[in-house]
Each structure stands twice: as C-alpha cells, then as structure tokens.
Amino acid sequence: MLMIFYWGVPCFLFLMGIFVFVSNRKHLLSMLLSLEYIVLNLFYLLFIFLNLMDYSGFFSMMFLTFSVCEGALGLSILVSMIRTHGNDYFQSFNILQC
C-alpha cells in the first residue's frame, strides 16, 4: 500500500500535468505554469527515488537549480513576447515572422 502512495500518486500528478499541458494551448503563461508543475512532479519523483535508494540529495538540488533556470528563461521569453506583440496568445505569434 505504501509503494502505491510512493509511486502511484506522483505518477498520476505527472500525467495530469501532461494532460493540462496538451489540452491548454491558448496562453503562453498557462503553458509555462503547467511545465513548471511537471518539473515539480519530476523533482518529487526524483526525491522519492533517491530517498528509497539511500543516495545523497546533491543531484536533486542540481535538478532543482536547473528547473529554476528553466523557469526564469521561460518568463524572460514571455516578457519579450508581451513587449513585442502586446499579449501572450499563440494565435497572434507567428514563428516564421522575422
């Protein structure tokens, strides 16, 4: 029963994050929030795995550092998109436009 709690709940939360990421395609901010939720669930799974195998938490801190850098990069892209286009809708943003 405890193993279902250790692996089942985080996997379910991860799949729900993937579902939200795939289903919501209107705003860039909601996409970034769902990506951060997925990364947080991956951190939780990694933390559980490292605790069950009695490893040190150094790699989990590295993963958390890289996820924070990824979040800052996503927010900077969001700010630059809002400054150039005026909103964060995907419909108004054309990738092929120079």
Residues contacting 13, CB < 8 A, separation 6+: 41, 44
Residue ranges and CATH numbers for the domains of the chain are 2-85 (1.10.287.3510)
pLDDT at residue 38, rounded to an integer = 92
Which residue, chain included where needed, has tokens 């009695």? 54
Distance between CA atoms of residues 56 and 90, nearest Å = 42
- For 73-89, how does the pLDDT look when each residue is reduced to its tens digit (9 = 90+)? 988 988 888 888 777 77
Q: Which residues of the chain fall short of a pLDDT of 70? A: 1, 90-98
Question: How far, CA to CA in Å, does 1 sit from each of 40, 41, 95?
Answer: 24, 20, 48
Q: Which amino acid is at 27?
A: H
